[in-house]
Amino acid sequence: MTVRLQKFLSEAGVASRREGEKLILSGKIAVDGQVVRLLGTKVDPAKNEVSLNGKPVQAKAKRFVALNKPPKIICTRRDTHDRATVFDLLPSDWGHLYTIGRLDADSEGLILLTNDGDFCQKVAHPRHGMLKTYRVSLAKRVNTEALKTLTNGLRDDGEWLQAKSAKLLAANNTRSEVELVLAEGKNREIRRMFKALGQRVLRLQRIAVGPVKLGELPRGKWRVLSQAEIASCLRFCGKAQESHRRN
């Protein structure tokens, strides 16, 4: 099966797709001994030999990983302030993976990582509406009217924010626990929604991405996705894409 050269470079852990394009344009990439400068070039990893500055580039096995991100850990690959990242929690030779979406530094829970560009795009694309489930701890009691506001939607800083569902799990006079489901992941969306309602978030934990559940995975640990989980994610995205075409 052929893939774009820059995609092959990305999945081999050589560079991001954009950085790969720069390598191609600068004449540093060769296919079967011939320098290639055309960005649309496709290669078959099973048949073609790709090299960078004369050194062979080997395709890496596809990986699909679930990680339980602790608070204060960031999702970028490198940090200018030398903060810990999710990649510090993974094997050292897995630096070619990239996160599917992000959680802000103060949030915790399920993060998916992969080196499969197609899988990443399908799961992350807002058009596919991959549902993400969160458990939110709040600093005071929340009422049903507030939860209705979340599902009806509200505007914050010129942006429309809306939950697919909001369920009260527990409440007393000093604390509430809410389960929230979102189809999109706009920047700090949950914190912004609750702030607009006069609520302060104490803890924000993502507990599911589509069919993939956090379950009992310990904080700071990772596991490999099952083939059933991968297939289920792709089926969901395929149905969403088909529905989008029909509409």
So which residues are the catalytic ones?
104
| Identity of the residue numbered 140 | K
Q: Which residue carries 């009691």 as its tokens?
A: 141
